[in-house]
Structure formats: structure tokens, C-alpha cells
Amino acid sequence: MRVLIVDDSERLRQALRSGLDSMGLAVDVAADGQAALAFLDAGHYDVIVLDLLMPRLDGREVLRQIRRRGLDTRVLVLSALDGVEERVGRLDDGADDYLVKPFSFDELRARVLALGRRQHEQPVPVLEHHGLRLDTARRSASGPLGPIELGPKEYALLEVLVRHPGRVYSRAQLFEQLYSADSLASDKVIEVLVSTLRAKLARGGLEELIQTRRGFGYAAR
């Protein structure tokens, strides 16, 4: 899941980035509305966490431009403005959810993941495939032999593949799904993740769940 955080508070941006990144999400941050639109010009995001009161271009106009462009990205407004008129107005503008500051990170995390499921048209949080069970709310996995302990990026990689079984993802495509735009890693890290993930799946009774299509990439069978 790719998430864009738009807020003029550097402290809040980095705190949210750290928290969501620790879950294996690919997180980019923007300090104002114009920077946010530049990120949207460059790539797709599943969820945007959007502040309203920002310099240069405020969140209200960013939200309007997102919907004028026809983007289906889910938008969670995160604002200290808690009036009913404000909340109704932003939902009318096309926001998918509204969370008032101050807030609990656990609640924000749950709302972001719920919006991500809606983005992928997944009404329930559990994915099941060939004996694998993924709980996308708890971000946990289990197989025929019991729970499978995965790191955040291993889990994220597995979820990307299992959401679209049979679809082949190149190394570059998987890297874009799992890492932020300013990551210092290279896409070769995907090969390492696939290797460790396969080993853990095999110990959980799920051998050959991930297939290599030589010259093309990886897919879940």
C-alpha cells in the first residue's frame, strides 16, 4: 500500500511516516499542497492523509483538484478543525474519511488500512489463498502449520502478490509498491525479500506459493 502524508508540521509528518513505515507501507511525505500535487503527478497512491491548513496551497483545494482529476485515491482528512460544517464540507468535496486532531495513532492506522481495503474492493479484512490466511487489519499471516512470523516488508510483499494471484510483478513494480520515493535501497532488495519470504512460507506449510517468471518477475500461484 502506498500512502502520501500531507501536513505542514514536520514533527507530525515524520512521526506518521515512521509509524506507517514500520508496518511495511510505502510512505511519502509532503509539506504543503503544491508538493502533494507534484507527488500525485509522479505516481499513484492508495491513501492520502491530508491536512487542511497549509501554506502555498491548502488541503481543501488539494482535495478538490484530486477529484477534478478523477483520481480514485482514498483521502483521509486529518485536521484540528472539528466543526460539523467543516467535516460535512470536506466529505462533500470527496474526502473518504475525516479524523480530528489530536488523535490516536492506532485509530489513524486502522482508518488508513480500512481505506486501503476499500481501494482494493476488499470488504473484509481477511484474504485466503491456497491455505494461506492473511489478516490485513492485524497484518498477520498463517498457513497449514500455524502462524507465520513475517517482517513488515515481507508481509507487504506477500499481500501485494496474493491480492492478484497469477499477476506477474516485475522487481521494479514491487519496489515501487513497498518503498518510498526517497528510499536509498535499490530494487535488488526485492530478491532478498522473496528469498526470505519463501523460506518462511515453506516452514508454514506453503511451499511454491510464490513463483518466479524468469525475465518477467514474481507472482502468487
Digit-coded pLDDT (tens) for 7-17: 999 999 999 99
C-alpha distances in Å from residue 195, one per residue of 23, 132, 154, 158, 204: 20, 18, 10, 12, 15
Amino acid 124: pLDDT:
72
Amino acid 142: pLDDT:
97
Amino acid 123: pLDDT:
66
Of all residues in the chain, the percent with pLDDT exceeding 70 is 99
Comparison of pLDDT for 54 and 119, the residue scoring more: 54
What the chain holds in terms of domains, given with CATH numbers, is: 2-119 (3.40.50.2300), 126-220 (1.10.10.10)
At residue 206 the predicted structure's pLDDT band, cuts being 50, 70 and 90, is: very high
Amino acid 171: pLDDT:
95
At residue 95 the predicted structure's pLDDT band, cuts being 50, 70 and 90, is: very high
Comparison of pLDDT for 152 and 125, the residue scoring more: 152
Report the predicted TM-score, pTM, of the whole model to 2 decimal places: 0.86
On whether the CB atoms of residues 16 and 104 are closer than 8 A, the answer is: no
Amino acid 68: pLDDT:
93
Decide if pLDDT at 90 tops 80. yes
